[in-house]
Structure 1
Amino acid sequence: MPQLASLLSEGDDQYAMVDEKKRKRKISNRESARRSRMRREQHIKDLNREIAFLGKRNNEIVQKISYLKRTSITVELENQMLKEQHDKLAKRLESLEIVCSYVCGYQRDIPRCNSQPWQVSHQPLPLITTSVGMLQFDYNPVL
């Protein structure tokens, strides 16, 4: 019987060791699960912060694009108006050169186009009325 008692006590010790190992493993697993949950929660918080940041940045970019579109449309309209104005002025200049050629008599007598049209010449041409509704330039070119 002493052998049986020693066998039982050895068995109890083995069961106690196995139970202790199971208990330690459970504790370790619980700690590991807790750390895993904390990492996951932190990751979710980080993702939410990134979502907020990217959403804000996206709104800023959308507003900037909208502003640039409006500005682009304004510039295009202004450019179109300036092109139309240029065309009208070019046609007007051509018409005035034709009129001037008839008044002066010959094409070669047309005064050269002022390269700086914003500067008014200092010699105005007097207008003479020849008949009702008709105007004539008194042009004497200085050579």
Structure 2
Amino acid sequence: MASSSGISSGTSGVQNSGSEEDLQQLMDLRKRKRMISNRESARRSRLRKQKQLDDLMVQVAQLRKENSQIHSSINVTAHHYLNIEAENSIFRAQVAELSHRLQSLNEINNFLTGAGTGDEEPYFINEPADGLMNNSWNYIYVNQPIMASADNLLQY
């Protein structure tokens, strides 16, 4: 019996060692599958990150291009603004000069017509600016300087 119990324990030992090997192989197989799966997942993750980086680089290039266009537009607009400001400055100077001429003409007119010798209000020509151009006799004198002096006025 001792021999039979020895055989049975021997066969169970062989079976245990076989099932341990099978279990070990199964665990190794699962471990290899998990490693392969992890490698594939890491590869997909790297590809995703590379695609995101490429997309961001394209977006940076597009934004830089837009920024350059905006700067160019701002420079053109600033140039136009400065030109218009210069024109406005010229127009303001012309308005001031024409206002001064009109005042001088009104003073001369008042002196010649006798208006303004008393306490009454001085007479002013209140024609619009276009009125100067509507009268044909004014065309000759539009750009002529006003030549008046005290000597010329005393002759009358």
Q: TM-score range by the shorter chain?
A: 0.7 to 0.9
Mapping 1:2-81, distance limit 5 Å: 2-81=11-90
* SS of equivalent to 2:132: coil
Deviation of 1:73 after TM superposition, in Å, equals 0.8
The structure-2 alpha-carbon separation of the partners of 1:73 and 1:88, relative to structure 1 and needing over 3 Å to count, comes to same
- Mark the runs of 5 or more structure 1 residues left unpaired by the alignment: 124-132, 137-143
In structure 2, stretches of 5+ residues that fail to align are 1-9, 139-150
Which structure's residues are more often strand, by fraction?
1
Please, what TM-score do these two structures have when normalized by structure 1?
0.80
> In 1, distance between residues paired with 2:122 and 2:43?
100
Superimposed CA distance per residue, residues 44-80 of structure 1 (whole angstroms, 9 cap, x where no aligned partner) = 1101100110010000000000111111111111111
1:106 partner SS: coil
Deviation at 1:134, TM superposition (A): 3.5
Query: What TM-score results when the alignment is normalised by the length of structure 2?
Result: 0.74
Higher Rg of the two aligned structures: 2
**Counterpart position of 1:92:** 101
Are 1:82 and 2:82 an aligned pair? no
Paired position in structure 2 for 1:141: none
Amino acid at match of 2:127: N
2:126 counterpart (105, 109, 113): 113
Number of positions where the alignment pairs a residue of Structure 1 with one of Structure 2:
128
**Contact conserved, 1:104 with 1:110, CA < 8 A, in 2?**
no
More helix by share: 2
Percent identical among aligned pairs is 30
In the alignment, the residues of structure 2 paired with residue 122 and residue 52 of structure 1 have an alpha-carbon distance, to the nearest angstrom, of 66
Deviation of the 1:121 alpha carbon: 5.4
Q: Which of 114-123 and 81-90 deviates more? A: 114-123
